[in-house]
Structure 1
Amino acid sequence: MAIIKRFLLLICLSVLAAPAKPAAAASATQQQDFYGATSGLLQDHVQEGQVNYRSLQEDKARLQRLVQQLAIYDLRNAPAAECKAFYLNAYNLLVLWQVLEHYPLPSVMDVPGFFDKRQYRVAGENLTLNQLEKQKLMATYRDARVHFALVCAARSCPPLLNTAYLPDRVEEQLEAQAKRALQDPAFVRIHPDERKVLVSELFKWYRPDFLRQAPSLAAYINRFRSTPLPPGYRLGYYPYNWGLNDSRK
């Protein structure tokens, strides 16, 4: 009996002495699973910023697993960079998921409440796409580059990045996305004959976000261009094309 007691005591002591799995290790595993799977999915179904929704529909189970991961992702004690990257990916993945729920469709504007009514479970909270954008990203980070990273499934949206936003690279990726959009002649349209520049209506809808970071819209745009906009040109907006960003159309 004494031998058995001694054996049980040794087991208890060994369990107590074993080092606890650090929170950072658990977070690293969570990150690897989520961001790696997100990158793999986007690389398989996004070409030149547009989405092959037909092939994505055939691969819907992978996207569904990511939506399930979004719901339970643990952001407690997560650094700001991880939260920022997570919410950017959450928005883009949930847009894709909601498109597939109604696919085929001409435009997300044909789905009532697409942005402001339908709620999803995101890191333990129920949020709409608008709440993700305005509360979790813009109100927290006040970074207008976010508007070039969130893709609302419209043809006039900035191109969708075909890899995940990563916690250790999110600032670099946002910078690259802003440059990619603002140097694209289809996104910023210069008309020398009329001495005017036409830009996306994103700049009209979110004007205060851009003007918090620059004295004018032109000054903000020039921050990301290798060739500045011609001085003295009038700035206007071209109509937003809400047609679905489907690469097969």
Structure 2
Amino acid sequence: MKYITVLFIIIALLSCSSTKNITENTSKNIKQIKPIKVDTVVVNKEKNNVILEKNNIDPEIKKVPEKIKSTKNFDHSSWDTLLQKHVSNKGHVDYKAFKTNRNELVNYITYLGNHIPQDSTTKEAKLAYWINAYNAMTIDLILRYYPIKSIKDIKKPWEQRFWKLGEKWYNLNEIEHQILRKMDEPRIHFAIVCASFSCPKLQNEAYTELGIDEQLTNATKEFLNDPERNTISKNSLGLSKIFQWFAKDFKQTGTLIDFLNQYSDITISDKAKKNFIDYNWNLNE
């Protein structure tokens, strides 16, 4: 009986030792498991940028959508400042005062010359770039000859090649007809300004990549519903000659009336009679 008791004690001790070893080994294995580091993505809502905090994020996650990664291809802020300073809410330009800031205007055009659109540039950014370029160059053209009463006092004003963008010298005709009109956006005709009273008014803000669609819509509505430039009723239209000169551009997806009804405050009849108003080339000041 004594030997049996001793045998049970030995078995119990061996059992406890084995359990202890299993527990210790399990504990060691648990300690060897390293915590997984999860990289975080912080979104800056004000700048609409995505910031990756770590460099060891999966390569596929690093591919941030282009529209988030790049919200502005060009900096038009200096042009915006000049417009706010020298252009009224009604589009009247103070050329005399503008001339005192011509250096800033030339610097902006030089900036455009050093930062031209690429094939990968968005259509929105290209539209904003070329509209701003056209308007800035038109202002510069007037300032070169000011004081004058009309842009037509300048010999062949739209053929003057005063401005170099990239490796090429441009004139206003080329920007309008060879670049902007080929972008199939008829609303550009209400954004580019020929420095004349009958033109659409020069907006006192720069066009931007992110705001271009709304800006073009607003400019179109404002011009079309301006009684000094167009007279519209259900059955009768007195239209700016812009609609005659560039009729093809406004018929890309329907008739001229179809286009007008998208932006007119009055619903125009398909059978409305139309005529075109004489153009006033006096300076828009």
Above 0.5 in TM-score?
yes
For residues 210 and 71 of structure 2, the distance between their equivalents in structure 1, rounded to whole angstroms, comes to 12
Q: Which moved more, 1:92-101 or 1:174-183?
A: 174-183
Preserved CA contact (<8 Å) 1:73 1:124: no
Q: TM-score, normalised by structure 2?
A: 0.71
Residue of structure 2 equivalent to 1:214 = 254
Residue of structure 2 equivalent to 1:160 = 202
Letter of the 1:224 partner, please give it: Y
Instruction: Give the RMSD, CA atoms, in angstroms.
Output: 2.4
Preserved CA contact (<8 Å) 2:109 2:137: yes
Residue of structure 2 equivalent to 1:19 = none
Preserved CA contact (<8 Å) 2:241 2:277: yes
Instruction: Classify the secondary structure of the residue corresponding to 1:121.
Output: strand
For residues 91 and 172 of structure 1, the distance between their equivalents in structure 2, rounded to whole angstroms, comes to 19
Percent of aligned positions with the same letter in both sequences?
28
For residues 29 and 56 of structure 1, the distance between their equivalents in structure 2, rounded to whole angstroms, comes to 27
Preserved CA contact (<8 Å) 1:46 1:162: yes
Instruction: Classify the secondary structure of the residue corresponding to 1:126.
Output: strand
Instruction: Classify the secondary structure of the residue corresponding to 2:107.
Output: helix
Residue of structure 2 equivalent to 1:205 = 245
Aligned length: 218
Unpaired runs of at least 5, structure 2: 1-65
Q: Report Cα offsets for 1:98-149 as digits up to 9, x if no partner.
A: 000000001111111211243421244222101101111111x111100000
1:102 aligns with 2:145: yes
Deviation at 1:231?
A: 5.9
Q: Which has the larger radius of gyration?
A: 2
Instruction: Classify the secondary structure of the residue corresponding to 2:231.
Output: strand
Q: Which moved more, 1:224-233 or 1:164-173?
A: 224-233
Q: Which moved more, 1:46-55 or 1:73-82?
A: 73-82
Distance 1:231 1:210, change over 3 A: closer
Deviation at 1:232?
A: 4.0
Q: TM-score, normalised by structure 1?
A: 0.80
Letter of the 1:223 partner, please give it: Q
Preserved CA contact (<8 Å) 1:87 1:132: yes
Deviation at 1:169?
A: 1.1
1:72 aligns with 2:114: yes
Instruction: Classify the secondary structure of the residue corresponding to 2:237.
Output: strand
Deviation at 1:75?
A: 2.0
Distance 1:233 1:79, change over 3 A: closer
Residue of structure 1 equivalent to 2:281 = 242
Preserved CA contact (<8 Å) 1:197 1:236: yes
For residues 78 and 198 of structure 2, the distance between their equivalents in structure 1, rounded to whole angstroms, comes to 27
Preserved CA contact (<8 Å) 1:120 1:127: yes
**Structure 1: 4+ residue segments shifted above 4 A:** 27-30
Preserved CA contact (<8 Å) 2:236 2:274: yes
Instruction: Classify the secondary structure of the residue corresponding to 2:127.
Output: helix
Distance 1:196 1:80, change over 3 A: closer
Deviation at 1:73?
A: 1.4
Instruction: Classify the secondary structure of the residue corresponding to 1:167.
Output: coil
For residues 269 and 97 of structure 2, the distance between their equivalents in structure 1, rounded to whole angstroms, comes to 42
Q: Report Cα offsets for 1:58-78 as digits up to 9, x if no partner.
A: 111111111211221132332
Aligned residue runs from structure 1 range 1-249, under 5 A: 31=74, 34-47=75-88, 48-76=90-118, 77-139=120-182, 141-190=183-232, 196-215=236-255, 217-229=256-268, 232-246=271-285
Structure of higher RCO (CA pairs closer than 8 Å, 6+ residues apart) = 1
Letter of the 2:245 partner, please give it: W
Residue of structure 1 equivalent to 2:32 = none
Unpaired runs of at least 5, structure 1: 1-22
Distance 1:29 1:204, change over 3 A: closer
Preserved CA contact (<8 Å) 2:240 2:279: yes
Letter of the 2:282 partner, please give it: G
For residues 188 and 216 of structure 2, the distance between their equivalents in structure 1, rounded to whole angstroms, comes to 7
For residues 232 and 28 of structure 1, the distance between their equivalents in structure 2, rounded to whole angstroms, comes to 44
